[in-house]
Structure 1
Amino acid sequence: MAGRKGRRSWGRIRKMRSGRYQAAYIATNGTGPWTAPTTFTAKMDAEAWLAAERRLLETGAWTPPPTRTQDAAGTERDLTVADYVAQWLDEARSRLKASTMDGYGRYAELITGGLGGVALAALTPAQVRTWRSSLDPAFPTRNAGAYGLLRTIMNTAVNDELVEANPCKVRGGAVKHRKHEPVALSPNEIRAVAAAVPVERWRALVLLLGFSGLRYGEAIALRRRDITMTDDEVAVHVRRATVRAGRKWVTDRPKTPAAVRTVPLPRELRDALREHIDAYAEPGADGLVFPAPGGGPAHRQPFANALRKGAEAQGFPTLRIHDLRHSALTNWGRAGATLADLLALGGHTTAALTARYTHAAPERNAALAAKVWRE
C-alpha cells in the first residue's frame, strides 16, 4: 500500500513535477536502486512495472534493467551497442558543449555503423579490433576520435556494471597522428603573408591569429570591448568562442576555464587593429570585431581561401589557419617563454597539449647544440 509520498511495501513510486510517475526499487541481491527506463503517465502503469520486476526476481529471470530494452513489438531483447551509445549521448547532452556533441554524433555513426547490432555485454576485444581496422585510413584523426569515444562509453558501461571489462584494447587506437605537418612562420613571414592576403578585411585577422595564438573560434567571437588598446597596452580578452554546430553558429564559453584568458599583443599591432575596427567591425561595445561581410560570425571558408592565396604568394602553399596558432606559440618559445607562460597564453590545461601546438625550429635547435658545446 502506497504512503503519502508514494512509498510501497516493495519499490517506490514518485510523482514528478511534470505530473508523470517514476518507479524504482532495490533488488533482492541488494543492488540498486534500479529505476524504470521511462516515466509513466498513470500511477497504475508504474505499479505494473514494479510488479513485473518483482516477478522476474522471484523466478530468477531478473537482469539489471539497463541491460534490457524492447523492440517495436514490445518484446524484451538484449541491450545493444547502438542502444547504449544513444543512451550515453542523451545523458551527455546536458553537460557537453554543442560543438563537442556535434563531433560525437559523427563518431557515433561510425561506431553504430560497424558495431551497433552487437549485444553490449557480448562485445569482444576482437570485434572492436576488427571494427577499428576497418575504418577508412584516409581519416586517421576521425578514426582515433571514434575509437576514443567508444572506449569512453565502454568505461561508463563498466561503471554501470553492464560489462565486466572494457573490450577496447587496441594499442594506440585513440592516438591522433598528424596528417598535416604544421608550418611555423617567423614574425616577418606572418606580416608578409598578411600583406599578401588579397581581401583587405582579413589581413588584421591574420596578424591577430599569428601574434596572439588565439583559436579561430575565439578570434571571431571577439567584441570591441574585448580588445584593450592604450599607449601602454594592447591585449585581447578571451571570454567566449564561436563554433559551427550542425547548421547553426553557437557562441559559448570556451571549452575549459584555462581558455578564458588575457593575451598581450605587440604594440605595433595597434594601428592595424584600429584601422580594421574602424572599417569593418560592428558598431557598439558588443559589436563583433571580425564579422562576416553580411554580418554575424565570420565563416571559416572565405577567410581560409584568402589566407591560402596570401600564403601561396609567399611560398607557403600548405599553410592552414591553425598553423598561425602554431606559429605564435613557437615564436613565444623562441623569445624565451617558459612552459607555464605557454600554458597560460595558449589557454591549455596540460603540458602535453602545449607540446602538440608548438613547433621546434631548426635554427633554434642548432643554437642550443652550439650552446651545449660552449658550456
Structure 2
Amino acid sequence: MISVDDYRDRVRALLGTAPATTLPLPAAAGLVLAEDVRAGVSLPPFDNSAMDGYAVRAADVGAAPVTLPVADDIPAGRVDVRPLEPGTTHRIMTGAPLPPGADAVVMVEDSDGGTETVTFSAAAREGAHIRHTGEDVVAGDVALHAGTVLRHSQLGLAAAVGLAEVRVHRPLRVLVASTGTELIDAPAPLRHGQIYESNSVMLAAAIRDLGCEVEVVRSVVDDVEEFRKVIEPKLAGADLLVTSGGVSAGAYEVVKDALTGQGVEFAKIAMQPGGPQGSGRWHGVPVVALPGNPVSVLVSFEAFLRPAILTALGHTDVSRRRVRARLTEKMSSPAGRRQYRRGVFTQSDREVTGVVGPRGGPGSHLLAAFTQANCLIVLPEDVTSAAIGEEVDVLLL
C-alpha cells in the first residue's frame, strides 16, 4: 500500500500548475495572481483633503478665533488648483487636491462655514487632515504579490493603482464522470438494485467551489467500450478527468479495466475510507480515479484532490485548518491505515482545546452523517484505538 502523504504528493505533481492568462479585473475575481502587480501610480496620487473644510497655512490659524477671506473653492476632481496665498483660505472638499502653499485643513465643523469669509473656532495644526502622496502605496512598488487571491479588496487595489487587467492562473477545466450500471439519475423511478447517482453532484459542486470550470458526465454503465466512447471525445480541452467508481478489486471495475495499461496506475492507499485509487494520464490528460462510495469520494477529495487543485490554481495555503481536540467517545481504527471519521468539533471561549465526537459509523456509505459533520477526525496509521478524553487531530471543514 501507498501512504496517504506519498499519494497526495503524486496527485499534486500530476496536476502541476495551471498556465497563466490575462483577464480583465471583473473576470479575475477569486483567482490567484500569477505575477506581481506594481503600482502605476501612488496612492494617494496627490496630497488631498481628508475632510470637508478649509485649506490653510497653519501659521495663519495659530489661534482662535480668527477670520480669513475665502479665495477659492476646490471640489473633488478639480485639476486647475490655484496656489494658496498667505492670509487667505480655500474652501475644500474631501478628496480634493491640496493647493500649493497649504499645509493643513481645518474641518468645517471648526468654523462658521462661511463662503466669502470664514471664522475658525479652533487653531490649525500643520499636517492636519491631509492625505499625503504615496502614504498607502508608492508608484513602482509591488502592490499585490504573486500568489495573492483576488478578493474584492485586492481587485479594488489593482484598479486603484491603474490596472484594468491582471495575469492570473486560469481556472482548470475539469471533467467529472460517475460510473456504475446501478446508478440512476433522479427523478427517474428506482428499480430494485438501483440507486440514485450523487457522486458527480458532490464532486462538481466541490470542484466549482475551488474556482474551476466543470463538465459532468453522469452514470456511465460498467462497460469498457461504452466508457471510452462516452469519455474520450470530451477529453479535448480538459485539464483534469475525475472519475468515481470502478477502481476496486472486483469484477466490472470499468475505470480500472478501461485505463489500466493506458497511462493510469491503480493502487491501494493506506487509509479508511478511500483505499482504492487511480491516477495518471490518459491521452495526455491528468486522471484522478476515486472509489465509488460517497463518503470515500468526499474523503478522497479532501485528502488528495482539494490540495492538488488549489496548488495548481496558484494557492499557497491549501490545507484545511488542523486543531487538537479531546474525544467525547471511544474510537477504533484498523492497523496500518489512516482513518478519517466524520465528526462534530466544538470549542468554548473558556477552553484552549476543543472537544470532538464522531458522527455516524466508519462506513463509507453513510452520507447523511457527513452532512451533519463540521470536521474530519484523523487517527494515524499506528493508532488502533483512542480513549475518551484523548487528544486527536481534527481537520476543520
Category of TM-score, reference length = shorter chain: under 0.3
- Higher share in helix: 1
- Higher share in strand: 2
How high is the TM-score relative to the length of structure 2? 0.18
How high is the TM-score relative to the length of structure 1? 0.19
Greater relative contact order, per chain length (Cα 8 Å cut-off, separation 6+): 2
